[in-house]
Amino acid sequence: MPQEYTSIELCAGAGGQALGLHLAGFKHKVLIEIEKPACKTLMYNNDVHSLGWERIIEGCVEYFAEHEAHNYKGIDLVAGGVPCPPFSKAGKQLGKDDERDLFPAALKIVARTLPKAVMLENVSGLLEPKFDSYRSEIDASLNKLGYITFWKLLNASDFGVPQLRPRVVLVALRPEYADSFNWPDYKITPPTVGEALYDLMAKNGWTEVDNWKAKANKIAPTLVGGSKKHGGPDLGPTRSRRAWQDLHVNGNIVGNEPPEKNFTGYKDKEEFKNMPLLTVRMTARIQGFPDWWEFYGKKTPAYRQVGNAFPPPVAEAVGKEIFKALDAGNKAKKVA
């Protein structure tokens, strides 16, 4: 019988990382997420697809760290995607001075659960020189708890996801497992936007779909989910929308349905002639979610969940390497 490893998921969002780790073989004991629509998404998919996730908490990671984490001592993996605004180039990059920085809460959970492994992801800005000392503090905290740390910038496009989406991943392992850990060393060529979305764009018989596919001949720019304060049902700031326009997509709004047979453009604006809108389902595919994964809520909260997610194929690839390292370490213990 295959070995089972258990996990905690922090700041689970719509479940991108959780799904990837589930597919890598981890069994989620608890997932924590503060946003109600995202929690509904997690609960729905867990129930409908019988994922076996034991508990989904709608609440604050800091509260969990203080009052509940000790109940999960001995878990195999603590994983999560702590909020990115403190390190994002789109913000002020205040780092640990940003009240949204949840690295301290994540480290407290690690200290109280003492897992075999840790996996935390964030935006590429975290690797900038201005955060060197902050990363050193994180390393020092984990080293003090007995972990060896690994940092890596991973591009989602290397794992078959049709957008670049660079993300920083921190993996920390106890010494008996660290020697066996390797980052994924393969690359999967991603489809272009046209190739990835062709069947969805053609669903209602759009006559221009083949011409559109030929023009949407690159991978997508990084999806931007925005926040409650900033960002609505569109594909991001002006720079992002221009990049989408180069792919013959109107990024000014997220659509409700694929283009109809005689579609010529949203509100027939000449600037966007024959440029379709992306639906939430299309953006989810661009983010690497399987088509069976459903998102709770109306268009804006549903798209925000997609845009803020960690692509499941990337989480799965890293998760499999962590799984292998745990297996190797446990086998070495038995031999010894």
pLDDT at 22: 98
Q: Are residues 182 and 198 in the same domain?
A: no
Regarding whether 313 and 276 lie in a shared domain, the answer is no
Residues 183 and 272 in one domain: no
**Cα–Cα nearest to 232, from 257, 259, 252, 250:** 252
pLDDT in tens, 125-145: 888 888 888 899 999 999 999
Which structural domain range is residue 252 located in?
193-293
Predicted confidence at residue 208, as pLDDT, reads 96
Here the CATH number for the domain that contains residue 48 is 3.40.50.150
Tokens 């200290």 locate to 111
- Compute CA distances 24 → 36, 53, 73, 211, whole Å: 26, 14, 22, 38
Residue from 108, 86, 274, 282 nearest 193 by CA: 282
Nearest to 317 by CA among 106, 12, 16: 16
Q: Which of 228, 21, 13 is nearest to 122 (CA)?
A: 13
Q: Does residue 72 sit in the same domain as residue 162?
A: yes
Q: Among 11, 39, 60, 84, which one carries the catalytic annotation?
A: 84
Least confident of 43-47, 121-125, 262-266: 121-125
Q: Tens digits of per-residue pLDDT, 73-128?
A: 999 999 998 864 444 444 444 444 444 478 889 999 999 999 999 999 997 888 88
**What is the average pLDDT across 286-301?**
96
The whole-angstrom separation of Cα 205 and Cα 170 is 45
Identify the band that residue 7 occupies on the pLDDT scale cut at 50, 70 and 90.
very high
Our count of domains for the chain comes to 2
- 11 counts as catalytic: no
Q: What is the predicted pLDDT for the residue at 226?
A: 61
Residue-wise pLDDT tens digits, 198-216: 999 999 999 999 999 999 9
Q: Are residues 44 and 110 in the same domain?
A: yes
Q: Tell me, what DSSP letter sits at residue 166? A: E
> Are 153 and 43 contained in the same domain?
yes
DSSP lists the bridge partners of residue 6 as 27
Residue that wins the pLDDT comparison between 240 and 195: 195
Whole-model pTM: value is 0.92
Task: Tell me, yes or no, whether 17 and 110 share the same domain.
Answer: yes
**Averaged confidence pLDDT in the chain:** 90
225 and 91 fall within a common domain: no
